[in-house]
Amino acid sequence: MDDRVSVQVQRQLLNAEREAVIAVCEAGRAVATSWSGTTVTEPHQVTEPLANRLGEDVRRRLLDAVTSALTAAGQTVQGQPVPAPPYFVVTSRGPLCRVTLDNGRRLVVRFDLFAVQHRPRAYRHKSANPKHCLTVKLREK
């Protein structure tokens, strides 16, 4: 059942809520385009410009899209997610949304926009294609 909910939410995000997903992917591409090379070496070179490009509007749209996708999958959200931690964070790999369901499980929506190389440390843009960067997982309490 958990996999079914994750698949339904991902499908809903890629179809009915596609504009919000594309806005996130395009923000990642814009950040990478602003670099002087193909990689950067510090996480803040990803997180700060990405957070700025996403802005309050895109964060809100994305959380609303996740909530709508959950509703379409027959799930109920606990509380009202806001576009700030712990519901929305920008990591060096990309944005991460967490939404708690009424049954206590947590849905995690992750955008893997950037790949991390550990030695030597480097961050590079992966793909702006929503099908390749979007991951949806349902986790237990």
pLDDT at position 72, please? 86
Q: What is the mean pLDDT of residues 31-45?
A: 97
Task: Determine the Cα–Cα distance for residues 115 and 83; give it in Å rounded to an integer.
Answer: 24
**According to the model, what pLDDT value does residue 48 have?**
98
Q: What is the pLDDT of residue 1?
A: 47
Mean pLDDT value across residues 94-115: 93
By the 8 A CB rule, do 73 and 97 touch?
no
pLDDT score for 4:
87
Helix (H) or strand (E) holding 121: strand 121-125
Q: Which of 40-49, 53-62, 104-113 has the lowest mean pLDDT?
A: 53-62
Cβ neighbors of 118 (< 8 A, separation 6 or more) are none
Mean pLDDT value across the chain = 91
- The pairing of strands 88-90 and 95-100 is antiparallel
Q: What does each C-alpha distance from 80 to 47, 67, 77, 99, 114 come to in angstroms?
A: 25, 9, 8, 9, 29
The pLDDT of residue 111: 96
Output the pLDDT for position 121: 95
Overall pTM surpassing 0.85 (yes/no):
yes
71, two tokens: 């509703």
